[in-house]
Amino acid sequence: MANSSNSIVTLIGRILMAMVFVIPGLLKISGYSMTVAYASSKGLPVTNVAIVCAIVVEILGGIAVLIGYQTRIAAWVLFLYLIPTTLIFHNFWAATGMQQQDSLIHFLKNLAIMGGLLILAANGAGAYSLDQHKAVGA
């Protein structure tokens, strides 16, 4: 098992990563009609269904990462979810001016998040997680 400081750092990383998904997922619920309208303006098909799926993936995937439950699977699901999300909603190549710069920043931010998710998928949740607790208790 890794040393205690590495375990704490991994836990903090999971908490920060989870916030990126759980908070926007909850905001999609509270601003559902605005979220659907925005997604529709981006050309997202079957918008209501897509937004409900996004809410489920973001909240459940984020919580799984947060508590370290099935973390590798959750990280892969969130990684795959971010591919179309990034391409549809942060298509900087189709924008101009400040909108292009803003979209590029969000595009690159999502790439960084995807990198973090790949690290979680490869290395797991660490010592302070339900995955570890289950492995030790088995």
The pLDDT tens digits for 95-104 are 999 999 999 9
Residues 78/61, Cβ–Cβ less than 8 Å: yes
| Domain chopping of the chain, boundaries | 4-130
Which pLDDT band holds residue 1 (cuts at 50, 70, 90)? very low
- Rounded to an integer, the average pLDDT of 76-92 is 97
The pLDDT tens digits for 25-61 are 999 999 999 999 999 999 999 999 999 999 999 999 9
pLDDT at 136: 78
78 has a pLDDT exceeding 70? yes
pLDDT at 135: 81
69 has a pLDDT exceeding 80? yes
Which pLDDT band holds residue 83 (cuts at 50, 70, 90)? very high
Token digits for 77?
A: 């699901």
What would the 3-class secondary structure string for 6-56 be?
HHHHHHHHHHHHHHHHHHHHHHHHHCHHHHHHHHHHCCCCCHHHHHHHHHH
pLDDT at 4: 77
- Rounded to an integer, the average pLDDT of 115-130 is 95
pTM of the shown model: 0.92
The pLDDT tens digits for 2-29 are 567 789 999 999 999 999 999 999 999 9
